[in-house]
Amino acid sequence: MIQHTPAPRPVEHRDDTATYDARDLVRDGVKANVVLDDQTYTLRITRAGKLILTK
């Protein structure tokens, strides 16, 4: 079940690419689920501040 949270605020960017602060995407400060079609991916911020996207 998908839980809807307020939309993350876009970050100012020079071109047309949608840009978001990753910390705005994660609810608990560590990970978020991202859905594309019927597939769910997990976006995680590591302790070292790196991003990992897994299926």
CA 10 to chain centre: 12
Q: Identify whether the C-beta of residue 41 lies closer than 8 Å to the C-beta of residue 54.
A: yes
CB contact at 8 A, 24 and 9: yes
pLDDT tens per residue across span 13-52 = 678 788 888 988 887 789 999 999 999 999 999 999 999 9
What is the pTM for the complete model shown?
0.67
